[in-house]
Structure formats: C-alpha cells, structure tokens
Amino acid sequence: MKSVGTAERAVRAIAECRRIATMTEEPGRTTRRYLTPPVRDVHTLLRNRMEADGLTVTLDAAGNLRGIWHPAGASARRLLIGSHIDSVPNAGAFDGILGVTMALELLEMAQEDKLPLAIEVIAFSEEEGMRFAAFLGSRALAGGFDPALLELKDRDGKTMETVIREFGLDPDRIPDAVIDDEVAGFFEIHIEQGPVLEAEDLRVAAVTSIAGQTRFALRFMGHANHAGTTPMYLRKDALAAAAEWISEVESLAKRTEGLVATVGRLDLEPNAGNVIPGMVRVGFEVRHPEDPVRRRAAGELLEKAKTIADRRGLKLEHIPQMEQPAVPMDERLTALLGDAIEAAGMPLRRMPSGAGHDAMVMAARVPTTMLFLRSPGGISHHPDENVREEDVEVALNVGRKFVERLAAEVG
C-alpha cells in the first residue's frame, strides 16, 4: 500500500464527504433519508473503497454497510469505527459521513502501521430519524431493534418493512445484524455540531457523555371553521393553543440550567389562510445531561399542554416517540482517547454531547468512546456546515494514536 500523509488523508476525507453530499433526493440540496435511492449510491462508493482496502464487505438487513479487516496474527477481538450516512433535509456535508470517511482513513493507517488489530468500519443506515425513527442502524447492531418499528409508515404511507424489502433486504434477518461478543469497543468521530470548541479555540475534545432525550408529538384537536364568521370567543383554535404551549416550552427551558427544549415541527389542518386551524401536530424534544431534570421538565410541559387544551375546550393526544437516557462513555476507552489527544500535542478537553449519536446506542452493548472535532461557527444541520482541514488532520492523528494504544491492549 502506498504511504499517504495525514494532511493528504484529511483532504481526501473531506473531498469524499463533499462528493457524497451530491448523492441526494433533492437536486441542489442534500437530503438523504433511510434507504432512499441515493443511499445505494453511497453504498456503492463506500463498498468500492472498502474492497480496494481488502475488507470483507457485507450489507446487513437493517441497511448498515460493514467492512471487516482481520490482519494475520490479530486476535478475534475487533474495534468498530464508524458513523451514519443518512441526513436531515437540506443538510451539510459532514454530519455523520465524516466519521465514516475518517474511519476508512484510520483503517488504512492501521494497515500501514501493521497493527495486529481487527477493525470493522460501519456506515450506519439511519441515525437522524427523518423517515421512520432515529438510530435504526445502531439499534440493529446493539440488539435494540424492536420489530414493531417495521410497521411505522413514512410520509408516502410506506411501511418500514416494505421499504427494506424494496431495497432488496430481508427484514426477518435484522436479528442477524447484532454484533457478537468479540468486540473490543466502538469509536465514533463526529463534528461537535456546536460552538464550544470554536469559542475555546480548540480543535478536538473527548466526549464524556451524551445527554438524554425525550421526544414526543402532541396533537391539539379543536374545530376548523370559517375565519371571517366565527367570533373569537366561540373558536376552538388548535394553532392558538399550540402557540401558547410553545411559549411555555421556551420559558421553562430558559429558567432551567442546562436544559434545551425545542419544538421543531408543526403540521396543521386544513392549513388555509381563511380557515381556523382545527388540528395541529407538534413535534417536541427536550435534552439534559441529567435524566431526572429532563424527565421532570418533559412531565411538566405535558401537564401544561393538557391544562391549555382543557381551558380552550380542545382535545389533546400525546404520542411518545423516544425516551433515551443520558449515556456515559466508557471510562477506560475515554482515558485512552485522552492520552491520544495529549500525545498528538493537543490540550485535553472533556465535554458532554448535547446531540444524540450512534455512540449512545452502541454504548449499551459495547465499550464506547467518541471524539469531537471543531465545527466552524458552531453550525450543523445546515448547508453551511463545514470543517477545517487542519482540524481533520489533528483528529486523524489522535485517532491513529488511539488505535495504536487499543491494539497494544487487545494484543
């Protein structure tokens, strides 16, 4: 294998992310939901790269692309490295996918260094939850995939089971995706998606934990009627109720230290300018590093929604979507990662993640650690999302030293 410098690898990892960003459902912007046609294009690109590197490549029934390298003399235990390839609508080029392209660079560096460590590179199929539910790919590997998810429908009315079969996979084989016991750990590299490293002029950080999340949808159900003939005191306006509740969400989050709460989606019917909204569906999430604080806030906001609906004469429906506890990273692996950061000449910064990642699902099954690199401007989930070449180069150097240290332990 031809030796490639770390700076060149950083440039290549970024270029591949930008190339993959053109594989999209929507011309002119990056949108790539679970098992849509562009995912097949991404699989083709990554499979070609993996096979060129000598990996044994498989596509499991949940749609995760997986490549295994098992060098001669290595033990059966392997390190998993990867991230996700799906995106939010109108996404940037680096959320998730950078962790996959960098995983391939780290794999090649391990080959170049002749490390006696088996490595599996994973491109998770669904983390964002834009089509059915979040973390489908990592749930399948970690043994947390609920077969009831197969009945979920996308916006076109297709069930997940149908989508998987149309992609050429067998949903009955999803249990086969669960990883075996010969895993030394999981390592994910990800952009911070926030402003902390930028504000502190740091390139990388070791993630200590991932904040817990509660997600649910509410349906405020009133009565649609003519906007010109219905007096204000006789209205049952679902949107007005939802708006009052959204103000309560913001108010509670602002006065609770460390809490972030977001209403990111509204669907209303009949959605006409001259008709009182009869139904509003509100998508909501709340996050906090401490589970009791998060649960208390979610419960309080649900009670406020009920109070508002009752006072206005509306019905309220509560639809739970996710209850994810806060997840600490593995102390031993994170200590190795901290050593690697310092060995790469960087100051050691430890920080929690406010965003959810596949790492928090994998941590329930195997020892897990995570490396953040700086997000310029703190921007993510937006076309302006970016990375700096020098930061990616540092992250690759850190990753290389981490893999070296783990290889010495496993060997």
| pLDDT, position 1 | 55
Q: Cα–Cα distance between 326 and 305 in angstroms, integer?
A: 25
Global pTM? Answer: 0.83
pLDDT digits (tens, 9 = 90+) for 344-370: 999 999 998 988 899 999 999 999 999
Q: Alpha carbon of 150 to those of 170, 174, 175: distances in Å? A: 11, 11, 13
Angle between helix 238-254 and 291-312 (nearest 10):
150
Among candidates 338, 113, 355, which has minimal Cα distance to 212?
355
Residue 385: pLDDT band with limits 50, 70, 90: very high
| Of 99-103, 277-281, 322-326, the least confident | 322-326
- Tell me the domains of the chain and their CATH numbers: 6-211+326-410 (3.40.630.10), 212-324 (3.30.70.360)
Q: Please name every residue paired with 68 in a beta bridge, in sequence order, or none if there are none.
A: 56, 120
Q: Cα–Cα distance between 299 and 306 in angstroms, integer?
A: 11
Map tokens 């995760």 to a residue. Answer: 64
Contacts 24+ apart (CB under 8 A), 223-231: 223/276, 223/278, 224/269, 224/270, 224/275, 224/276, 224/277, 224/278, 224/279, 225/275, 225/276, 225/278, 226/274, 226/275, 226/276, 227/273, 227/274, 227/275, 227/276, 228/274, 230/276
Q: Please name every residue paired with 275 in a beta bridge, in sequence order, or none if there are none.
A: 226
Q: Please name every residue paired with 84 in a beta bridge, in sequence order, or none if there are none.
A: 124
pLDDT digits (tens, 9 = 90+) for 7-54: 999 999 999 999 999 999 999 999 999 999 999 999 999 999 999 999
| Of 208-217, 277-286, 381-390, the least confident | 208-217
Q: What percent of the chain has pLDDT over 90?
A: 95
pLDDT digits (tens, 9 = 90+) for 115-150: 999 999 999 999 999 999 989 999 999 999 999 999
| pLDDT, position 2 | 64
Q: Cα–Cα distance between 286 and 378 in angstroms, integer?
A: 20
Is residue 280's pLDDT more than 60? yes
Largest CA distance in the chain: 81
Is residue 325's pLDDT more than 80? yes
User: What is the separation of C-alpha 390 from the centre of its chain, rounded to a whole number of angstroms?
Assistant: 24
